[in-house]
Structure 1
Amino acid sequence: MVRLSLENRSLRMEKPGPVTYPNGATLKYSCNAGFMLRGPSEITCNMEKWTSPPACIDATCGDPPAVANAEIIDHRDRRYWPAERVQCQCHEGFESHGPNDVTCINKEWSQPPTCEDMMCGPPPALTNGQILGYRNQKYLPGERVRYRCQQGLSLIGSQTVTCQKKKWSESPECREAGGKCGPPPRIDNGDIVSFPLKQYVLNSTVDYKCKSLHILEGPQSVRCDSGQWTDPPVCLEPCTITPEDMERNKIQLRRPYEKKFYVLSGVFVQFVCRWGYKLDPTSSGLRVQCLEGSLVYPKCKHRNK
């Protein structure tokens, strides 16, 4: 018979037994939370001696890996438990490739995502035309610029080009038209209500309509004026509120029975912090406005931090 002595406090027997054990008895060990076994999980009583016990080594992780052009959401200066996850969020204008979180696995973090730059450079120049407004060196995905032709020329194609994943959409042309206009300008998230013609006479008008949940801003129609169309309207995008974004920021709608996952541009949305959380001092207020498809979520943090 042999007596068992357990000195490593990170080890624990799964089924503690008697004080002494007969030859051939086996015991199984497991580690406390935050530790992992190194060596066999069982020991055996052999000739009144126990075989060598396993060791428990620290399996927690330190700070999550830094990701270029991204930030760690809800990062706290502490050790992280095995299997614990931390979310990464790419900066505006960058697109994530790979999982949007990293996981603590055996003292190491899993492979983080990469954030690819999706912004566009300066828009293409237009022969016999010009870009309206200030020209930037960098444009975010979805940003638009508008063109206008020299007097007496017609703009053929869309008056605007859009930044789409590092590339600009097809640019228009300026052509001789003798006062007539080509097809009316295309707009994002909208279209004309009539069948398009190849050519329109002076003072012709065309009406526009927007897609569902989009709001038309500006004049509803355009007019052919000396070979060029007047400025078209803009269809303002709604905002999409997702459960994932609310969970990430520890917030919920003020009236949780509402399923307001689409919000029209210009409309205010009221959030509240989830139970056990309070508004982060660095965050905006809990009442935010949808502006052309963009909504800045408020952020709440744990009350004990």
Structure 2
Amino acid sequence: MNTAFGKQLKMKYCKIFLFLLLMIMGVSTNAQVFRCTDVKLKMHGQRTIECLSNGKWDYPYPKCGDVTCLLNTKEKNIKMDRFPDFECPVTPGYNLTFSCNGQGLILKGQREITCQSNGEWSSPFPKCEDKHTEGQTTSCGPPPDVNDADTIELKKDEYNTGERVEYSCFNKYTLDRRPPFSSYLTCEQGEWRGTIKCLKPCTVTVEEMNRRGIDLAYADRQKMFAPHNDYITFACQWGKVLAGVRELRQQCDDGVMTLPECVGRWE
């Protein structure tokens, strides 16, 4: 959908506003799903918003802008060097190098981190701690629970620094392998480090299809799911035709699928 800044369409309860850089993937009387017009842009705000009974959206419209990484450290005893070394937004490719201010301190974490294309740092910000701290923990307890995933092997009670644990997503869920995500968590000086994300499948119910006047095109009505990035092809129910410009073949995007709609020929 091409958009023009300031143009406005009216719906039954809530108004739709169209902005540059922001694309509306799906429109209904009670919800909108957005994405940025360019994959190099980052969305700030809710990807899906719903229309409330008072005629207001439950969240503000999201905005799309350049990808930047936040300088989110407040440690006073740590020195941070930037490359390139000048004051401007931190964009993908920028590196930060850390060192400790003062004697008797050790750096806990990665010495150098990089701003990635998704606006996240390649590793968490490190900390400076007293190297003489007694009772410093270097081992980890059992790895944490991860949403929609489980460890491939049985969990142990204790892990040494450097040991990794591999996770597998539940059936029909898809592991996100884009940085900084992976299938592993690593024990580092008493803490589990790493990020695991399982992308949700999409499901379609008989009730939803009946409301939209559609059926599955190639399968029976008991198999109505699609993993992330997979497609479901629909067909109009008998005597109905496709309404609008939405295609009958739709893709699953992390649990979200915009359904087409078919109506009677004279509606």
Provide TM-score, normalisation by structure 2.
Answer: 0.49
Bigger strand fraction: 1
Provide TM-score, normalisation by structure 1.
Answer: 0.44
Which of these two proteins has the greater Rg computed from alpha carbons?
A: 1
